Amino acid sequence: MIAKNNMFRFTLLCLLFPVMSSAQSEFQQGYIITLAKDTLNGLIKNKSYHNNSNHCDFQKAGSDSVKRFYPGDIKGYRFDNGKYYVSREIGGSKVFMEYLIHGKLDVYFYQDERGDNHYYAAKDTLKPQELKYSKENRYSNGKSYVYESKLYIGILNYLTQDCGEMTEKLKSMKEPDHKNLIDIAKVYHNYKCKDEKCIIYEKKIPRKIKVALYGGSNLFFNTISNLDRKIYPSYGYQFLFQQAQRRERLYIGIGLFNEGIIYDNEESKAYNQNHIRYIRIPFSLNYISQRKGFSPYIAYEFDLRYLGYFQALKVGVKYQVKKFSFLLIPDIKTSMFIMPIAAGLNFGLMYDIR
């Protein structure tokens, strides 16, 4: 019982430590554009899409201090060979919007605090107009159907009314996203301007894929089998796929883990076996920073083999060197989301496939 309590406390401390210590986003090379249209080079903290729209944390070259700029303080900022944010007014207040394409039709992107994407288009001296789109399930005469509101097509028709060729192209547009809006703006620009190309600022980075191998141990408790209060080796692997457009640090994972062995319990006797292995097939949501050196690693897993009946919360530390990362990940395993059944500690080696 003492070993179980000590393991549980140790795991909780390990889970909390990375969150309390170094949950920082990486600083990247870039520059800010002052209100006087001067450029200052330095380091800029790359955060989530929403936080990037609220403020810019800038460290001037040769300085150790970090200064925070708000959309009214500067004209914009840009990461070297990356995202470009400009200050624009929305609903009476200014935000930093990601500049996707500049030409005869400009397109911008903004993400609110709920994680919802918003796109805007502007032309000449007109203020950015939101390209609204929504989709919902509705019911009529006892039947359900999907209703789409495509107000954005009307806005784009208005902004491109001086080019008749755009009408048919806009009719076939689906839900607005980075790709199709950039394509539409590019087509319109090419119709209207033959001798000058538009400028595409969108960050062109393919989605990353990682593979990770793990090894460690689990201490089981609160179980009905003789796994209770026993430590078993654990090992497994998973593939991780980046969800780039919404969250650059969000990865979806799928894997296979061997978590322990049940000996001589009633279930194994029923199948005339002397042991049964606890095998997990986890589907996971992972927060993974690409920062070199130390950074936090956070994941929440659902066991597909048992239809989500078992879960695992993992909060650890990652140390990255080029394409390789070393992981130290404690976890708490639960059933039905609330009942803890095991505490684990795993070491991992992760490799960036691309």
pLDDT value at residue 135: 83
Are 177 and 246 within 8 A, CB to CB? no
pLDDT at 226: 55
- Break the chain into its structural domains and give their ranges: 2-23+206-352, 27-200
Taking the C-alpha atoms of residue 190 and residue 288, their distance in angstroms, rounded to an integer, is: 39
Asked whether residue 10 carries a pLDDT value surpassing 80, the answer given is no
Using the predicted structure, report yes or no on whether residue 265 has a pLDDT greater than 60.
no
Cα–Cα dist 46/60, whole Å: 15
Question: Is residue 263 within 8 Å of 275, Cβ to Cβ?
Answer: yes
Q: Is 125 helix (H, G, I), strand (E, B) or coil?
A: coil
Question: What does the mean pLDDT of the chain come to?
Answer: 83
Under the banding of pLDDT at 50, 70 and 90, the label for residue 286 is: very high
Q: What fold, for 2-23+206-352?
A: Porin (2.40.160)
| % pLDDT > 70, the chain | 83
Do residues 122 and 108 lie in contact, with contact meaning Cβ atoms separated by under 8 Å?
A: yes
Nearest to 216 by CA among 65, 41, 59, 7: 7
Residue 231: pLDDT band (50, 70, 90) is confident
**What was the pLDDT predicted at 280?**
85
For 201, list phi and psi in degrees, rounded to 5.
-95, -15
**For the segment 175-214, what is each residue's pLDDT rounded down to a tens digit?**
898 989 999 999 999 999 888 888 988 766 667 889 999 9
**Residue 114 exposed, middle or buried by CB count within 10 Å (0-12, 13-18, 19+):** exposed
- CA 285 to chain CA centroid, nearest Å: 9
Which structure tokens are listed for 124?
């000449």
Residue that is written with structure tokens 């990362």 in the block: 325
Q: How far apart are CA 150 and CA 157, in angstroms?
A: 12
pLDDT band at 119 (very low <50, low <70, confident <90, very high): very high
- Asked whether residue 314 carries a pLDDT value surpassing 60, the answer given is yes
Q: Give the CA diameter of the chain.
A: 80
Q: What is the pLDDT of residues 14-48, one digit of tens each?
A: 554 544 444 344 688 999 999 999 999 999 988 77
Q: How many residues does the chain have?
A: 354
Task: Provide the pLDDT for residue 21.
Answer: 41
Closest by Cα among 214, 204, 206, 217 to 239: 214
Q: Where is pLDDT greater, at 135 or 40? A: 40
* Residue-level pLDDT at 2: 44
* pLDDT range class, residue 225, cuts 50, 70, 90: low
Q: 166-198 burial string, b = 16+ CB within 10 Å, else e?
A: beebbeebeebebeebbebbbbbbebbeeeeeb
In the predicted structure, residue 264 carries a pLDDT above the cut 50: no
The half-sphere exposure of 325 on its side-chain side, counting CA atoms within 13 A, is 27
pLDDT of residue 114: 78
The answer, yes or no, to whether residue 130 has pLDDT greater than 70, is: yes
Q: pLDDT by residue (tens digit) across 60-114?
A: 888 888 999 999 999 999 998 788 999 999 888 899 999 999 999 999 998 888 7
pLDDT of 4 reads 47
